[in-house]
Amino acid sequence: MNNINCMGGCSAKLDNKRLQKILKLSNSSLKNNEDCSIYDLGNGTSLVESIDYFPQISDSYYIYGQITACNSISDIYAMGATPKFALSVLTVTNEMSDEEIAEIIKGMISILNPLDIRIEGGHTIITNDLICGLSVTGFVNNKDLKQNNTPNIGDVIVLSKPLGFGTIIAAKTVDMVDTKDYKEALKWMTTPNKEASLIAVKYNFSALTDVTGFGLAGHLLEMMGSSYCAQIAIENLPIVGNALQYLDQYFLNGAIANNRRNYKDEISFSFKPSFGQKEIFFDPQTSGGLLGTVDSETWANMDEESKKCFWQIGVVGNKREKAIEVND
């Protein structure tokens, strides 16, 4: 079994500012940063499309396939849509056996089949590195379509999974992670965001996205844009296992420095945070939770079972000097 890649999962994501520069140099016509492409079918529904792939993130090929599947369908759920079918993207090495490659595919299928998502085909090549992913197609009623940058003042900010997957994996790469913490992270990373998405649609969330490679800070900034401020309560942030302690011990993954460099100037703290409390905002998540905003009255009146799918982590305020304010 190959070692877990410290740039595995969404830690491998290209630096956001570098990506923006490349798109500008290429004269790209992209106009927004939505989680999926959207094609209006003209009948009240839209087709949504997304692709995700990344290097190995688990010491089990089967679980690697599961995490890949969960992460790939998450963008569809973040749009309020229903994923329907997928194409696999797989690069394998000469050293891998047929049985090992099959384990990855079986892992993906174990997540997709119960959700009635079919793998219709794909493309597999031999290279020097193992990379796995899916191109996923879904459909959404236009009135249910969610965007990632449309919050309202006074909205509650909620998150459906804890933070810290990146640092847990970083500690695992050097065999310094507690087994309980690693298993907890894997449990969350292999949990699809379907239920949270359905609740977001049911209660008409004003904005929705998923937290992945750019970390909580990057996705909050994308959501707040130039008009709003995310006022976050540090004690309300859900953290997986001992992730803060791993960060305090400098178990940092490959992308956290890029996120810190890109987003640190947009965050302020009303208290003196620990190193881990600061870094958790930059920690890249793989198969992270849905980050949403919802009217405060709607949140107050939601049924308790629905509320259990989310943590309330803050509120949307008017734009201030910093786009993210963290309070104790």
- In angstroms and rounded to an integer, the radius of gyration of the C-alpha atoms of the chain is 19
With CA atoms as reference, report the closest residue to 163 among 210, 223, 215: 215
- In whole angstroms, what is the distance from residue 106 CA to residue 100 CA? 10
Token representation of residue 314: 């803050």
Told to judge if 309 belongs to the known catalytic residues of this protein, a careful annotator would answer no
Token representation of residue 164: 């810290």
Q: Which of 6, 10, 36, 309 is catalytic?
A: 10
- In whole angstroms, what is the distance from residue 9 CA to residue 69 CA? 12
The angle subtended at Cα 183 by Cα 180 and Cα 186, nearest 5°, is 150
**Pairing of the two strands 156-159 and 267-269:** unpaired
- In whole angstroms, what is the distance from residue 180 CA to residue 285 CA? 18
121: burial class by Cβ within 10 Å (0-12, 13-18, 19+)? exposed
Category of 103 on φ-ψ map: left (φ > 0), alpha (ψ -120 to 50) or beta: alpha
Number of neighbours of residue 111 by Cβ within 10 angstroms: 22
Contact 294, 156 (CB under 8 A): yes
- In whole angstroms, what is the distance from residue 202 CA to residue 63 CA? 31
Known catalytic residues are: 10
